[in-house]
Structure 1
Amino acid sequence: MERSALPLDRLDLALLTALTEHPRAGDLELSRLTKVARATVQSRLRRLQEAGVIADWDPSIDVAAAGFPVQAFVTLEIAQGALDEVSQDLASIPQVLEAYVTTGSFDVLCRVATQSHPELQATLVNIDKSPSVVRSTSVMVLSVLVEPRVLPLLASAEPAPSRRAPAYRKH
């Protein structure tokens, strides 16, 4: 079931910014950083989590630093109606970090990571063994230009009106 978008106000953005900049901060520290009551922080975080804006509390893991420096993006053309099968096949390959259904000249975009070039080759062969994969194309990642990020996007949107009188004051 798809959730409807939650309009974010300035306090939501301030909390998300504080969490991104201080991921180990507790409610009390977030309260100090955003200059709102601890109970307000707790209720807003609960609301953001229930709405799916805060998707998880997992640490961000740098796969290259964890020993998997060889990364590639792989595009797949799949057999008509084989989305469930290819999803299961990709999920069974640990080197597949993520996969997205797309529009355009290919059907699926995957990101894979391995410890070495030979392991990358073996992973690509493994992906191609799926009976659902008609054709695959891969491109190697040489370096990262822009790290994964969300805050600039959130900050670029017009904030929703605050739900109550000044719960958040700019510094």
Structure 2
Amino acid sequence: MLTLDQIDIALLTALTEHPRAGDLELSRQTSVARATVQSRLRRLAEAGVIVDWEPTLDVAAAGFEVQAYVTLEISQGALDEVARDLEAIPQVLEAYVTTGSFDVLCRVATRSHPELQATLVRIDQASAVVRSTSVMVLSVLVPPRVLPLLASSEPVPSRRAPAYRSSLPSAHGE
């Protein structure tokens, strides 16, 4: 697990606010050297903090305005089968294994209510799905976000090397 420091948070904030910025611009925005930006971005990507460099897409703006969350109860030991079935349905945007009264939580998006109904029927037809429940998304109250969480944790001091201080003798013999 990677511990983020103040420079990492500043870099991730700048990158989130200006995703098309290059290393030089990120260096200017965060007041750290370009080489530091490059090495930090590489380290954050290798640690899995930065997952990809793809654009964030808004499915509603792309015409898929009907969205729902679907919970699934599945047959014991059928997780791999359900994963294959869900991956074969393009309207399933994401799916998570959960605890509680259901086993899987999915987010789906469609162009229309009839398409949503057809998608829900297709999900229910998966042989390992025992029961499903769906709830419609009416509007987005809090959009997906990560920065407030990262910024809320105790800041770790930067690993930046300390500048030379007065511990060195000065040219005036002080």
* TM-score normalised by structure 2 residue count: 0.92
2:71 to 70, 75, 99: 75
Question: Does structure 1 residue 94 correspond to structure 2 residue 90?
Answer: yes
Following TM superposition, the consecutive aligned residue runs of length 4 or more in structure 1 with deviations greater than 6 angstroms are none
1:53 aligned residue? 49
Query: Structure 2, unaligned stretches of length 5 or more?
Result: 164-174
Query: Structure 1, unaligned stretches of length 5 or more?
Result: none
Question: Does structure 1 residue 22 correspond to structure 2 residue 22?
Answer: no
Letter in 2 for 1:155: A
SS at match of 1:100: strand
2:34 aligned residue? 38
Give 1:166 shift: 5.7
Letter in 2 for 1:91: E
Whether the aligned pair in 2 keeps the contact of 1:7 and 1:159 (CA below 8 Å) is no
Question: Does structure 1 residue 84 correspond to structure 2 residue 80?
Answer: yes
What's the C-alpha RMSD, in Å, of the aligned pairs? Answer: 1.0
Give 1:163 shift: 1.7
Give 1:61 shift: 0.2
1:127 to 123, 126, 130: 123
Question: Does structure 1 residue 66 correspond to structure 2 residue 62?
Answer: yes
SS at match of 2:151: helix
Q: Deviations over 1:102-133 (max 9, x none)?
A: 00000000000000000000000000000000
Q: Distance in 2 between matches of 1:161 and 1:76?
A: 44
Letter in 2 for 1:20: T
Give 1:161 shift: 2.9
User: Identity percentage over the alignment?
Assistant: 83
* TM-score normalised by structure 1 residue count: 0.93
